[in-house]
């Protein structure tokens, strides 16, 4: 049996676009379990870090070393964006799509998709067109589509940014269950309350640099940098 893709070592990773550093010498190690929350002001590099880890950004320097070859690592990850990607198909086919890509029969993939839609409380919407879903429903569909392949690692980029309190609570409950079932989560969020509710550890970025990586309780109770202290107080971070 192939072992875990974790731990992952990020060493001096730099990403630049149009002469601007989006990540500037980031180094950290991420363990196999838990929920890592990536925080920081707008433009800090949160989304870029997630995309770099997922292989969606070209590195200008440094390296990312997973515990398995890239061919294995990529297949065991999934990514949920702030704005879900919708296919012009019914909801059930959107969710089944990752399995059909793997060669699973249409009938089997749709049956598993139906089960996942029930889990995320979208069963009655299975045969609706995906574009007809509300924002919260679209995000739950995207989450079901990401989890149907039983990924070892799930990236989420501000998944609740545009959702109301009820939809946010439902998404968070799904994430906690997924994590308890063995899916490692790395998630960017601007929502301080959400970070406190979900985080096992926190990665804090500012101006493309890593300023802190700490246990969640330690970060929220005793941040070590002036920037993190200001951020947690809701102040403008220079």
Structural domain includes residue 192: yes
* 231 and 190, same domain (yes or no): yes
* 170 and 235, same domain (yes or no): yes
Q: Is the pLDDT of residue 78 over 60?
A: yes
* 171 and 143, same domain (yes or no): no
pLDDT at 85: 87
* 144 and 161, same domain (yes or no): no
Burial of 198 (0-12, 13-18, 19+ CB in 10 A): buried
pTM over 0.75, yes/no: yes
Domain end: 128, 150, 172, which one?
Answer: 150
* 72 and 167, same domain (yes or no): yes
35-39/201-206 β-pairing: parallel
pLDDT at 95: 98
pLDDT at 47: 97
201-206/209-215 β-pairing: antiparallel
CATH of the domain at 160: 3.40.50.300
Total structural domains in the chain?
A: 2
Smallest CA-to-CA distance from 69 within 153, 5, 154, 10 is with 5
Assess whether the previous peptide bond of 52 is cis (omega < 30° from 0). no
Structural domain includes residue 25: no
Structural domain includes residue 16: yes
Q: pLDDT digit string (tens) for 187-219?
A: 999 999 999 999 999 999 999 999 999 999 999
Structural domain includes residue 81: no
Q: pLDDT digit string (tens) for 142-180?
A: 999 999 999 999 999 999 988 899 999 999 999 999 999
Phi-psi region of 53 (alpha: psi -120 to 50; beta: other; left: phi over 0): alpha
Question: Bridge-partner residues for 155, per DSSP?
Answer: 79, 186
Average pLDDT for 213-227: 98
Structural domain includes residue 9: yes
Q: pLDDT digit string (tens) for 44-58?
A: 999 999 999 999 999
pLDDT at 162: 84
Smallest CA-to-CA distance from 127 within 112, 142, 139, 117 is with 117
* 142 and 52, same domain (yes or no): no
Q: pLDDT digit string (tens) for 81-120?
A: 999 989 999 999 999 999 999 999 999 999 999 999 999 9
Structural domain includes residue 183: yes
Q: Is the pLDDT of residue 2 over 80?
A: no
* 69 and 158, same domain (yes or no): yes
* 131 and 186, same domain (yes or no): no
Long-range contacts (CB closer than 8 Å, 24 or more residues apart) made by 51-58: 51/157, 52/13, 52/15, 52/23, 53/8, 53/10, 53/155, 53/186, 54/79, 54/155, 57/15, 57/22, 58/15
pLDDT at 238: 80
* 59 and 97, same domain (yes or no): no
In which element (H, E) is residue 161 found?
none
In this structure, what token pair is assigned to residue 69? 């070859």
Domain end: 150, 171, 204, which one?
Answer: 150
Q: pLDDT digit string (tens) for 121-133?
A: 999 999 999 999 9
* 182 and 161, same domain (yes or no): yes
Q: Is the pLDDT of residue 1 over 90?
A: no
Q: Where in the sequence is the domain holding 112, given as residue range(s)?
A: 86-150
* 49 and 4, same domain (yes or no): yes
């Amino acid at each position: 049996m192939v072992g875990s893709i974790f731990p992952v070592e990020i060493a001096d990773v730099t990403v630049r676009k149009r002469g601007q550093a989006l990540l500037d010498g980031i180094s950290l190690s991420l363990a196999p379990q838990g929920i890592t929350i990536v925080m920081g002001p707008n433009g800090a590099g949160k989304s870029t870090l997630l995309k770099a880890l997922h292989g969606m950004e070209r590195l200008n320097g440094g390296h990312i070393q997973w515990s398995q070859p890239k061919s294995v690592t990529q297949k065991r990850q999934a990514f949920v964006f702030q704005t879900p990607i919708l296919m012009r198909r019914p909801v059930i086919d959107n969710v089944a799509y990752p399995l059909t890509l793997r060669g699973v029969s249409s009938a089997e993939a749709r049956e598993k998709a139906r089960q996942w839609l029930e889990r995320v409380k979208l069963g009655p919407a299975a045969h609706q067109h995906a574009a007809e879903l509300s924002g919260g429903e679209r995000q739950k569909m995207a989450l079901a589509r990401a989890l149907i392949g039983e990924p070892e690692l799930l990236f989420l980029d501000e998944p609740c940014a545009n959702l109301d309190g009820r939809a946010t609570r439902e998404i968070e409950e799904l994430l906690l269950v997924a994590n308890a079932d063995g899916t490692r989560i790395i998630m960017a969020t601007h929502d301080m309350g959400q970070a406190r509710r979900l985080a096992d550890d926190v990665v804090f970025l500012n101006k493309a640099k890593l300023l802190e990586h700490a246990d969640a309780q330690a970060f929220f109770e005793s941040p070590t940098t002036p920037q993190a202290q200001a951020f947690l107080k809701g102040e403008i971070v220079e």
